[in-house]
């Protein structure tokens, strides 16, 4: 059950359109009625970890999409995060646009900065789904890491992870239950 404060907070975000409508996660573009800015609203059902999203709210890095709200109630986790105006890297590549060597190196350095922000937390946050569709390039050429639905806080005293998450072509072998994940998983 949502508190009155949480209900008020969520009422500030008016839906503009639906981006994705999957059973496990619905994604909307919303506008905040107080600041009139766009945001992304996710309603996550099934697997999620509120502690991970609470920790993500503390990260303030120009290459990590900012989390503003993580509210649990009514059978789901509602997350309000930064709206990143731009294109996912996979769309840029699928369109056949050429990314020159200097630009590609710049993107890699920005991705390393995003991972440094996540992995530098105590304990580290592991994204677990690094792939071109989760890397946004803004119209200014700034890389932003998005989509933290598979993210988790590193736990030192477990032998293996119990939930298989990630994208098959991009996930490290340990994400399929062979070992526990750590920061190397995101580098894979």
Average pLDDT over residues 40-51: 93
The pLDDT score that the predictor gives to residue 156 is 81
Residue with tokens 């922000």: 117
The pLDDT score that the predictor gives to residue 166 is 54
Is residue 113 predicted with pLDDT exceeding 70?
A: yes
Q: What is the CA radius of gyration of the chain?
A: 17
DSSP conformational letter for 176: G
pLDDT band at 88 (very low <50, low <70, confident <90, very high): very high
Is residue 135 predicted with pLDDT exceeding 80?
A: yes
62 touches 84 (CB < 8 A) = no
Tokens encoding 71: 């509210």
Measured CA to CA, the distance from residue 88 to residue 74 in angstroms comes to: 31
The pLDDT score that the predictor gives to residue 165 is 54
112 touches 118 (CB < 8 A) = no
Tokens encoding 91: 């769309």
Annotation says 129 is catalytic: yes
Q: What is the pTM of this model?
A: 0.86
Measured CA to CA, the distance from residue 31 to residue 110 in angstroms comes to: 28
Measured CA to CA, the distance from residue 88 to residue 13 in angstroms comes to: 24
Measured CA to CA, the distance from residue 18 to residue 160 in angstroms comes to: 36
In the beta sheet, which residues pair with residue 59? none
Catalytic residue among 6, 94, 100, 129: 129
Is residue 172 predicted with pLDDT exceeding 80?
A: no
């Amino acid at each position: 059950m949502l508190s009155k404060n949480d209900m008020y907070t969520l009422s500030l975000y008016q839906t503009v359109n639906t981006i994705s409508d999957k059973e496990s996660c619905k994604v909307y573009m919303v506008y905040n009625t107080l600041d009139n800015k766009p945001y992304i609203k996710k309603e996550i059902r099934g697997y999620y970890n509120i502690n991970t999203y609470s920790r993500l709210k503390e990260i303030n890095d120009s290459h990590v999409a900012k989390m503003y709200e993580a509210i649990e109630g009514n059978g789901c986790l509602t997350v309000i995060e930064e709206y990143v105006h731009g294109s996912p890297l996979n769309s840029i590549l699928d369109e056949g646009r050429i990314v020159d060597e200097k630009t590609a190196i710049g993107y890699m350095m920005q991705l390393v900065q995003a991972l440094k922000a996540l992995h530098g937390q105590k304990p580290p946050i592991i994204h677990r789904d690094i792939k071109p569709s989760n890397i946004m390039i803004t119209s200014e050429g700034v890389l932003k890491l998005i989509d933290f639905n598979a993210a988790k806080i590193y736990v030192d005293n477990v032998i293996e992870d119990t939930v298989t998450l990630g994208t098959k072509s991009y996930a490290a072998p340990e994400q399929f239950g062979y070992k526990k994940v750590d920061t190397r998983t995101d580098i894979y």
